[in-house]
Amino acid sequence: RRATRCVFGGPGLASFLPRPVPTMGKKKPELSKTAKKYNKKDVFALKDVFDDADADGSGEIDANELRKALNKSNLGDAADDFFKAIDTDGSKKIGFDEYLKAYYRKASPSEVKDMMLWVHPLRIEKPPTPPKLSDLQKREIKSIFVLYDLNENGSLDKKELLEALKDTGYDDDEIEEMFDDYDVNGDGEISLREFEKMLEAAYL
């Protein structure tokens, strides 16, 4: 599509950048201020043009890539001037935000930020799933638990836990502290589930 104006006031760039189409019709109340003012489809069309020019997929356009893109429309000779005009931060690379600023010259920084979020939405990463004991590991822990549950009441008292962990490198004070930490319900005994939680770090 050809535009009737050039971003920088001169002829020619219209064939490189698509023409924005004004938003028509009744505005929906849920639209943001930026979406009311600028058409999302045009911004995505600009992104497509930008991505076509971004030959190496780096997310930025260098002078050589811009020149190749403009050569398709016989504007290669103007590439250096266009590049200098768009590369406002002097980084020798054109980011899509600079591209937007060049095309939508009256757009505010917040509007450009909104348009950037249209094409690069924020990703909400899910927290990693905590590792869990395998069935085999649970069986191993249970066998240790049963071995030291001397009175076979289904739980370990402090004396039994001291016996179970005496060869693990922990001293008595540390084991007693662990007992207090993992005796979640405070009944003075460690259940199989509490024992699993105690040894989880050693297995995972």
* pLDDT band at residue 142 under the 50/70/90 scheme: very high
Mean pLDDT of 199-204: 78
Q: What DSSP character marks residue 59?
A: S
What pLDDT score was predicted for residue 3?
41
Q: What's the mean pLDDT when you consider all of the chain?
A: 82
d(CA 116, CA 122): 10
25 or 195, higher pLDDT: 195
What pLDDT score was predicted for residue 30?
66
pTM above 0.85, yes or no: no
The contacts of residue 78 (CB under 8 Å, 6+ apart) are 10, 12, 13, 70
What pLDDT score was predicted for residue 167?
78
Q: Per-residue pLDDT tens for 64-111?
A: 998 888 887 777 678 888 888 898 888 999 999 999 998 899 999 999
The contacts of residue 195 (CB under 8 Å, 6+ apart) are 141, 144, 145, 156, 182
Angle value at C-alpha 138, between 135 and 142, nearest 5 degrees: 140
Question: Residue 118 class from Cβ within 10 Å (0-12 exposed, 13-18 middle, 19+ buried)?
Answer: middle
CA distances from 130 to 124, 200, 201 (A): 18, 11, 12
- Alpha helices, DSSP H only, in 54-134? 63-71, 79-86, 96-103, 109-119
pLDDT surpassing 70 at residue 12: no
